[in-house]
Amino acid sequence: MSRFSSLLALVMVAVLAGCGRPEFSDAEKQTIASLALSRLPPLKPDTTNRFADVPAAAALGSTLFFDTGMSGGGTVSCSTCHKIDRQFQDDLPQAVGVGRTNRRTMPLAGVAHDPWFFWDGRRDSLWAQALTPLENPLEQAGNRAAFTHYIKARFGERYERIFGPLPDLSGVPANASPLGTDAERAAWNAMPGAQAEEVNRVFANIGKAIAAFERSIAPPQTRFDRFALDLAAGAEPKGDAAFSSEEILGLKLFIGKANCVTCHNGPRFTDVSFHNTVVPPV
């Protein structure tokens, strides 16, 4: 056992034996307060999506988010993995859509505050992130031509009230995508450039509607937030906001000697630490 582990064990024994409850210094209290959700800044305008704060776009995005028609087989929706009662994730080690993926589902609560998306940060806008699972063969396994036809058939009037007229799709193949199967790619490559551009525009607007909905998903206040607010106000945390001695020691380590807070800092850190919903790394 290391010297640090031995010291921690002795501290734990002393606390549990009633020899004292650990206290926070003023500096520690300031650090803890900075981690509360109440410190989240107002959302910045999304300069990549002029529909980001349009209520009708968010309403359409919500419909699409829960619609299994937004998948190749009609059995999977965004909400299959992003469950509303689990901070919009699924508690599984690997997400399962049409197939099993190699990554865990990320929570969406507060996602609009993030600058990068996916575990590897490969998308830099929320609407571009929203589109990616739609054509992933292991997630929703659809293709952009099919989605465009689906939007026109099911949501044409709603779409046009928000984004303007839909294009003429009479010559667009039922299934086509630059990222799809061999047959879908061949169909896509055979399309005139202007027609492919029109399909891409509708597909992009699908992502912008879903992103407008996801932008509205705020993280709920947790017991850590209530603890931090009470502590900052100089009040003794009560009820579920009262931390046990073990939790206080863990928090002191988190912001102190263990240095976890170096990476897990700011209000969004609470998606991966003291919340009831724990989201471990990949």
Residue 100, beta-bridge partner list: 96
pLDDT band per the 50, 70, 90 thresholds, residue 280? very low
Q: What is the DSSP letter of 234?
A: T
Query: Cβ of 166: how many Cβ atoms within 10 Å?
Result: 18
Cα-based distances in Å from 194 to 60, 197, 206, 208: 26, 5, 19, 21
Mean pLDDT, to the nearest integer, of 215-231? 87
The answer to whether the predicted template modeling score (pTM) of the entire model surpasses 0.75 is yes
Query: In the numeric block, which tokens belong to residue 151?
Result: 């939007």
Q: What is the mean pLDDT of the chain?
A: 86
Rounded CA gap, 141 and 143, in Å?
7
| Coil vs helix vs strand at 67 | coil
Question: Are 264 and 273 within 8 A, CB to CB?
Answer: yes
Question: Are 123 and 174 within 8 A, CB to CB?
Answer: no
- Per-residue model confidence (pLDDT) at position 262: 85
Rounded CA gap, 205 and 211, in Å?
9
* pLDDT surpassing 60 at residue 9: no
- Per-residue model confidence (pLDDT) at position 121: 82
Per-residue pLDDT of 110-128, as tens digits, reads 888 888 888 888 888 999 9
Per-residue pLDDT of 132-147, as tens digits, reads 999 999 999 999 999 9
- Per-residue model confidence (pLDDT) at position 265: 72
* pLDDT surpassing 80 at residue 275: no
Alpha-carbon 65 to chain mean position: 13
Question: Are 166 and 152 within 8 A, CB to CB?
Answer: yes
* pLDDT surpassing 50 at residue 79: yes
Q: What dihedral angle (degrees, nearest 10) is formed by the CA atoms of 268, 269, 274, 277?
A: 60
Q: 44-58, 89-103, 138-152, 264-278: which has the minimum mean pLDDT?
A: 264-278
Higher pLDDT, 57 or 223: 57
* pLDDT surpassing 80 at residue 271: no
Residue in the block written with tokens 């009633």: 18
pLDDT band per the 50, 70, 90 thresholds, residue 245? confident
Domains and CATH numbers, the chain: 3-34+222-271 (no CATH), 55-215 (1.10.760.10)
pLDDT band per the 50, 70, 90 thresholds, residue 230? confident
